[in-house]
Amino acid sequence: MTIYRNHSYKHGIGWSIWHIEFVTKYRHRIFRDAELKSFCGLAFEEAAKRYNFVIFDYEIQEDHVHLLVHLRPSMSPAKTIGLLKGYSGRLLFALAEGKLAKYYWLPKGQRSLCGTGKFFASVGHITLEKAKSYLENQETHHAKRELLMNPHPLWLGSFKNTKVFYKTTFSAILLTLRDMPV
């Protein structure tokens, strides 16, 4: 749980790392130009500062881009991709409109730098097998924790769940006794 302590927010704690990829419109190889490539990198860094997410790494190829980003729990990867595409496109058209004019000839309000497609996949700090075993062991994990808990702290709440609490606690005790070495 120590990994999550550095990633706590006002109403949540989370670790949300995403691999993002998107292409230039019509797969034009506009990032052959080193200046456009560096402008695009600057645009990504500025977008991350402006919209409050962290870019761990990015790689700009001739016709597509890969990013590794850490997002707040309230921010979706699709929203992030839209922000990155829009901000980088506006900035690149503002900084290097002459170089981009031969690829993107539409008027100012109708052009876009990136295609409509996108790819995103979560990147975790644990493997899928570990997550599955964690989920499978939740019942015993919570049963051990309930042994220490009072069903009604400060006698608040209804007494409907008291029978369920004692039933699950008794089951947990039996499971614990069964698993203990003799």
- Domain boundary at 125, 147, 164, which? 125
Residue 46 — very low, low, confident or very high, per pLDDT cuts 50/70/90?
very high
DSSP string, 24-74: BGGG--GGGSHHHHHHHHHHHHHHHHHHT-EEEEEEE-SSEEEEEEE--TT
pLDDT per position as a tens digit, 95-153:
999 999 988 888 887 889 999 999 998 987 667 777 777 767 766 765 655 555 555 55
> 0.75 cut: is pTM over it?
no
Residues 52, 89 share a domain: yes
Q: How many structural domains is the chain composed of? A: 2
Q: Which two tokens stand for residue 36?
A: 């456009």
